[in-house]
Amino acid sequence: MSAAPPVLNVSAYLFTPVTDAVQLRPVLRERAVAAGLKGTVILAEEGINLFLAGPAAALRGYLDDLRADPRFAGLRATESWSAAQPFRKMLVKLKREIIRMDRPAVRPDEGRAPAVTPATLRRWLDQGHDDAGREVVLLDTRNAFEVDEGAFHGALDWRLERFTQFPDAVAAHRDELRGKTVVSYCTGGIRCEKAAIVLREEGVDAWQLDGGILAWFAAEGQAHYRGDCVVFDERWAVDSALAPAAVR
Protein backbone atom coordinates (compact mmCIF):
# COMPACT_ATOMS: atom_id res chain seq x y z
CA MET A 1 0.00 0.00 0.00
CA SER A 2 1.39 3.39 -0.97
CA ALA A 3 1.84 6.04 1.68
CA ALA A 4 -0.75 8.78 2.04
CA PRO A 5 0.13 12.11 0.42
CA PRO A 6 1.90 14.41 2.85
CA VAL A 7 -0.71 17.19 3.20
CA LEU A 8 -3.90 16.74 5.19
CA ASN A 9 -6.84 18.96 4.20
CA VAL A 10 -9.82 19.55 6.48
CA SER A 11 -13.15 21.28 6.09
CA ALA A 12 -15.17 22.00 9.23
CA TYR A 13 -17.80 24.36 10.57
CA LEU A 14 -19.98 24.82 13.62
CA PHE A 15 -22.84 27.17 14.35
CA THR A 16 -22.28 28.29 17.93
CA PRO A 17 -22.41 31.71 19.61
CA VAL A 18 -19.05 33.52 19.39
CA THR A 19 -19.10 36.87 21.19
CA ASP A 20 -15.33 37.41 21.29
CA ALA A 21 -14.39 36.96 17.64
CA VAL A 22 -12.18 40.05 17.60
CA GLN A 23 -10.10 38.75 20.52
CA LEU A 24 -10.10 35.19 19.20
CA ARG A 25 -8.87 36.07 15.73
CA PRO A 26 -5.15 36.65 16.51
CA VAL A 27 -5.07 33.67 18.89
CA LEU A 28 -6.31 31.25 16.24
CA ARG A 29 -4.00 32.65 13.60
CA GLU A 30 -0.92 32.48 15.81
CA ARG A 31 -1.69 28.86 16.72
CA ALA A 32 -2.16 27.95 13.06
CA VAL A 33 1.05 29.64 11.91
CA ALA A 34 3.00 27.97 14.75
CA ALA A 35 1.62 24.60 13.60
CA GLY A 36 2.68 25.18 10.00
CA LEU A 37 -0.88 25.38 8.69
CA LYS A 38 -2.33 27.39 5.83
CA GLY A 39 -5.89 28.10 4.80
CA THR A 40 -8.80 30.20 5.99
CA VAL A 41 -10.74 30.42 9.24
CA ILE A 42 -13.93 32.51 9.23
CA LEU A 43 -15.29 33.78 12.53
CA ALA A 44 -18.68 35.39 13.05
CA GLU A 45 -21.11 35.88 15.88
CA GLU A 46 -22.95 32.79 14.62
CA GLY A 47 -19.97 30.42 14.60
CA ILE A 48 -16.80 29.21 12.88
CA ASN A 49 -16.01 27.91 9.40
CA LEU A 50 -12.57 26.66 8.39
CA PHE A 51 -10.59 25.21 5.52
CA LEU A 52 -7.06 24.26 6.56
CA ALA A 53 -4.18 22.15 5.29
CA GLY A 54 -0.85 21.05 6.68
CA PRO A 55 0.98 18.19 8.44
CA ALA A 56 -1.54 15.67 9.73
CA ALA A 57 -0.45 15.58 13.37
CA ALA A 58 -0.23 19.36 13.60
CA LEU A 59 -3.59 19.93 11.96
CA ARG A 60 -5.40 17.35 14.07
CA GLY A 61 -3.77 18.84 17.15
CA TYR A 62 -4.99 22.29 16.14
CA LEU A 63 -8.56 20.98 15.89
CA ASP A 64 -8.22 19.24 19.25
CA ASP A 65 -7.12 22.53 20.80
CA LEU A 66 -10.17 24.22 19.28
CA ARG A 67 -12.47 21.54 20.68
CA ALA A 68 -11.06 22.15 24.15
CA ASP A 69 -13.14 25.33 24.07
CA PRO A 70 -16.65 24.16 25.04
CA ARG A 71 -18.16 26.29 22.29
CA PHE A 72 -16.30 24.30 19.64
CA ALA A 73 -16.49 20.85 21.24
CA GLY A 74 -18.89 19.64 18.56
CA LEU A 75 -16.67 20.61 15.63
CA ARG A 76 -16.50 17.79 13.08
CA ALA A 77 -14.01 17.76 10.24
CA THR A 78 -13.99 16.09 6.83
CA GLU A 79 -10.49 15.00 5.85
CA SER A 80 -8.86 14.60 2.46
CA TRP A 81 -5.29 14.44 1.19
CA SER A 82 -3.19 16.22 -1.39
CA ALA A 83 0.40 15.96 -2.59
CA ALA A 84 0.98 19.70 -2.17
CA GLN A 85 -0.21 22.53 0.07
CA PRO A 86 -3.36 23.93 -1.66
CA PHE A 87 -3.34 27.26 0.18
CA ARG A 88 -0.88 30.14 -0.10
CA LYS A 89 -1.58 31.97 3.15
CA MET A 90 -2.98 31.55 6.65
CA LEU A 91 -5.96 33.87 7.08
CA VAL A 92 -8.44 34.36 9.91
CA LYS A 93 -11.32 36.57 8.82
CA LEU A 94 -14.11 38.30 10.71
CA LYS A 95 -17.46 38.23 8.91
CA ARG A 96 -21.10 39.00 9.66
CA GLU A 97 -21.97 35.37 8.80
CA ILE A 98 -19.87 32.24 8.40
CA ILE A 99 -21.97 31.51 5.30
CA ARG A 100 -23.70 34.55 3.87
CA MET A 101 -27.46 34.43 3.32
CA ASP A 102 -28.45 37.92 4.50
CA ARG A 103 -31.25 36.46 6.60
CA PRO A 104 -30.17 37.21 10.19
CA ALA A 105 -33.28 35.55 11.64
CA VAL A 106 -32.10 32.17 10.29
CA ARG A 107 -30.03 30.86 13.21
CA PRO A 108 -28.90 27.22 13.05
CA ASP A 109 -27.23 27.61 16.46
CA GLU A 110 -30.73 27.97 17.94
CA GLY A 111 -31.93 24.70 16.40
CA ARG A 112 -30.90 22.96 13.21
CA ALA A 113 -33.21 21.32 10.70
CA PRO A 114 -33.23 17.50 10.70
CA ALA A 115 -30.35 15.81 8.95
CA VAL A 116 -30.10 12.57 7.01
CA THR A 117 -26.91 10.52 7.02
CA PRO A 118 -25.26 9.41 3.79
CA ALA A 119 -26.18 5.79 4.61
CA THR A 120 -29.87 6.62 5.02
CA LEU A 121 -29.97 8.76 1.90
CA ARG A 122 -28.22 5.98 -0.04
CA ARG A 123 -30.97 3.58 1.07
CA TRP A 124 -33.69 6.01 0.04
CA LEU A 125 -32.13 6.56 -3.37
CA ASP A 126 -31.52 2.85 -3.93
CA GLN A 127 -35.14 2.00 -3.15
CA GLY A 128 -36.61 5.01 -4.96
CA HIS A 129 -38.43 6.54 -1.96
CA ASP A 130 -37.98 7.34 1.71
CA ASP A 131 -38.94 4.98 4.52
CA ALA A 132 -42.52 6.31 4.48
CA GLY A 133 -42.84 5.61 0.76
CA ARG A 134 -42.67 9.27 -0.29
CA GLU A 135 -40.83 10.66 -3.28
CA VAL A 136 -37.35 11.94 -2.45
CA VAL A 137 -36.23 15.14 -4.16
CA LEU A 138 -32.58 16.18 -4.03
CA LEU A 139 -32.04 19.95 -4.04
CA ASP A 140 -28.62 21.42 -4.84
CA THR A 141 -28.09 24.64 -2.89
CA ARG A 142 -24.75 25.52 -4.49
CA ASN A 143 -23.97 28.04 -7.19
CA ALA A 144 -24.44 27.08 -10.82
CA PHE A 145 -20.73 26.77 -11.66
CA GLU A 146 -20.32 24.26 -8.83
CA VAL A 147 -23.27 22.19 -10.02
CA ASP A 148 -21.78 22.11 -13.51
CA GLU A 149 -18.67 20.40 -12.10
CA GLY A 150 -20.69 17.60 -10.48
CA ALA A 151 -24.01 16.86 -8.78
CA PHE A 152 -26.36 14.10 -7.70
CA HIS A 153 -28.27 12.48 -10.55
CA GLY A 154 -31.64 14.14 -11.03
CA ALA A 155 -31.07 16.87 -8.42
CA LEU A 156 -32.92 20.16 -8.72
CA ASP A 157 -30.67 23.02 -9.79
CA TRP A 158 -32.06 26.54 -9.58
CA ARG A 159 -29.04 28.09 -11.35
CA LEU A 160 -28.11 30.22 -8.36
CA GLU A 161 -25.36 32.79 -8.82
CA ARG A 162 -24.98 33.33 -5.06
CA PHE A 163 -26.44 31.81 -1.92
CA THR A 164 -28.28 35.01 -0.98
CA GLN A 165 -30.69 34.20 -3.84
CA PHE A 166 -31.76 30.94 -2.21
CA PRO A 167 -34.65 32.21 -0.01
CA ASP A 168 -36.37 33.89 -2.96
CA ALA A 169 -35.88 30.76 -5.06
CA VAL A 170 -37.58 28.70 -2.34
CA ALA A 171 -40.56 31.05 -2.31
CA ALA A 172 -40.86 30.68 -6.08
CA HIS A 173 -40.69 26.86 -6.03
CA ARG A 174 -42.25 25.89 -2.69
CA ASP A 175 -45.55 24.63 -4.12
CA GLU A 176 -43.82 22.07 -6.32
CA LEU A 177 -41.83 20.78 -3.33
CA ARG A 178 -44.66 20.35 -0.85
CA GLY A 179 -45.75 16.79 -0.16
CA LYS A 180 -42.31 15.43 -1.00
CA THR A 181 -39.25 14.60 1.09
CA VAL A 182 -36.71 17.21 0.07
CA VAL A 183 -33.04 16.63 0.87
CA SER A 184 -30.90 19.71 0.40
CA TYR A 185 -27.16 19.31 -0.09
CA CYS A 186 -24.02 21.37 -0.61
CA THR A 187 -20.26 20.88 -0.46
CA GLY A 188 -19.64 20.26 3.24
CA GLY A 189 -23.05 20.89 4.80
CA ILE A 190 -22.79 24.49 5.94
CA ARG A 191 -25.11 26.06 3.38
CA CYS A 192 -27.79 23.48 4.07
CA GLU A 193 -27.82 24.34 7.76
CA LYS A 194 -29.54 27.55 6.67
CA ALA A 195 -31.18 26.27 3.49
CA ALA A 196 -33.12 23.51 5.22
CA ILE A 197 -34.42 25.95 7.84
CA VAL A 198 -35.69 28.30 5.11
CA LEU A 199 -37.34 25.40 3.30
CA ARG A 200 -39.13 24.24 6.44
CA GLU A 201 -40.28 27.78 7.19
CA GLU A 202 -41.94 27.71 3.76
CA GLY A 203 -43.82 24.52 4.61
CA VAL A 204 -41.49 22.08 2.85
CA ASP A 205 -40.58 18.76 4.52
CA ALA A 206 -36.87 19.44 4.21
CA TRP A 207 -33.83 17.54 5.42
CA GLN A 208 -30.14 18.30 5.03
CA LEU A 209 -27.47 15.84 3.94
CA ASP A 210 -25.25 15.62 7.00
CA GLY A 211 -21.70 16.59 6.02
CA GLY A 212 -22.66 17.40 2.44
CA ILE A 213 -21.05 15.96 -0.67
CA LEU A 214 -17.69 15.49 1.03
CA ALA A 215 -19.24 13.22 3.67
CA TRP A 216 -21.14 11.39 0.93
CA PHE A 217 -17.92 10.73 -0.97
CA ALA A 218 -16.24 9.46 2.20
CA ALA A 219 -19.10 7.06 2.96
CA GLU A 220 -20.67 6.16 -0.40
CA GLY A 221 -18.15 7.09 -3.07
CA GLN A 222 -19.51 7.82 -6.54
CA ALA A 223 -22.96 6.25 -5.99
CA HIS A 224 -25.82 8.34 -7.40
CA TYR A 225 -23.39 11.17 -8.18
CA ARG A 226 -21.85 12.38 -11.43
CA GLY A 227 -18.59 14.28 -11.69
CA ASP A 228 -16.49 15.95 -9.01
CA CYS A 229 -17.03 18.45 -6.19
CA VAL A 230 -15.66 21.98 -6.26
CA VAL A 231 -13.58 22.97 -3.23
CA PHE A 232 -12.34 26.47 -2.62
CA ASP A 233 -8.58 26.10 -2.79
CA GLU A 234 -5.96 25.44 -5.44
CA ARG A 235 -7.15 21.86 -5.95
CA TRP A 236 -10.31 23.35 -7.57
CA ALA A 237 -12.23 20.08 -7.16
CA VAL A 238 -11.99 16.62 -5.57
CA ASP A 239 -13.23 13.31 -6.92
CA SER A 240 -15.28 10.69 -5.14
CA ALA A 241 -12.12 9.33 -3.47
CA LEU A 242 -11.56 12.83 -2.01
CA ALA A 243 -8.42 13.16 -4.12
CA PRO A 244 -7.66 16.20 -6.28
CA ALA A 245 -9.71 15.81 -9.45
CA ALA A 246 -7.99 15.29 -12.76
CA VAL A 247 -7.71 18.44 -14.86
CA ARG A 248 -10.19 18.31 -17.71
Catalytic residue among 59, 156, 186, 198: 186
CA separation, residue 179 to residues 6, 132, 133 (Å)? 48, 12, 12
| Residues making up the chain, counted from first to last | 248
Name the amino acid, one letter, at 13.
Y
Q: How far is CA 12 from the centre of its chain?
A: 7
Phi, then psi, of 236 in degrees rounded to 5: 70, -55
Q: Is position 229 annotated as part of the catalytic site?
A: no
CA 24 remoteness from chain centre: 23
Contact 188/10 with Cβ under 8 angstroms? no
CA dist list (Å): 117 to 44, 120, 182, 206, 207: 27, 5, 14, 14, 10
Rounded to whole angstroms, the Cα distance separating 174 from 178 reads 6
Burial class (CB in 10 A: 0-12, 13-18, 19+), 187: buried
How many Cβ atoms sit within 10 Å of the Cβ of residue 84? 11
Residues identified as active-site: 186
